Structure 1
């Protein structure tokens, strides 16, 4: 994750994009990219969503990458370690949603 974050920092710095990467702008871009990911599955049956054609799978991979990139940049700008946050959330979810007996 650190390697990805650092690569994104370098990519943005080379283009002087950091000034645009406010939390507001990043979360808006993240939302747009998540919606683009949803479009690939809209109206698909569960079976169709599990059996993507290679071209569709590549398009979905691009959208997943866009979502991950904006999420990584948002976490970076806010000083949040997304891996630590995910681990903490798993612990919270385990308490909230215990396994059935």
Structure 2
């Protein structure tokens, strides 16, 4: 995960994009990219264009991870904590 953080952070920094980093902008960007992902299933639930789906999914992940780094949070820890919480609410069958 640390390598991915470096890749994403350096990529954004080299383009001067970090000056736009706010929680609101990250949240909007994640939502917009998620909507673009959903568009691939709007009229055809098969989602045949896997490359375009992967591209939109990558955008969602990049913005989500960038938001974690902006908050100085470890994405792995956030996910683990969430899974623990969900497991408590929805125990195994």
Same fold (TM over 0.5): yes
Is 1:77–2:78 an aligned residue pair? no
* Structure of larger gyration radius: 1
How far residue 43 of structure 1 moved from its aligned partner, in angstroms, is: 3.4
Unaligned runs of 5+ in 1: none
Q: Post-superposition, which runs of at least 4 consecutive aligned residues in structure 1 deviate over 3 A?
A: none
CA distance in 2, matches of 1:58, 1:42: 17
Cα distance in 2 for residues equivalent to 1:74 and 1:30 = 9
Structure 2, unaligned runs of 5 or more = none
- TM-score with structure 1 length normalisation? 0.84
Q: Give the count of matched residue pairs.
A: 93
Q: Describe the superposition over 1:26-82 as per-residue Cα deviations: whole angstroms up to 9, x where unpaired.
A: 11111100000011112334xx24xx3xxx100000001100100010000011111
SS of the residue aligned with 2:92? Answer: coil
Cα drift, residue 8 of structure 1:
1.4
Residue by residue over 1:1-38, the C-alpha shift from the partner in whole angstroms, topping out at 9 and shown as x without a partner, is: 22121111111111111110111111111110000001
TM-score, normalised to structure 2, is: 0.91
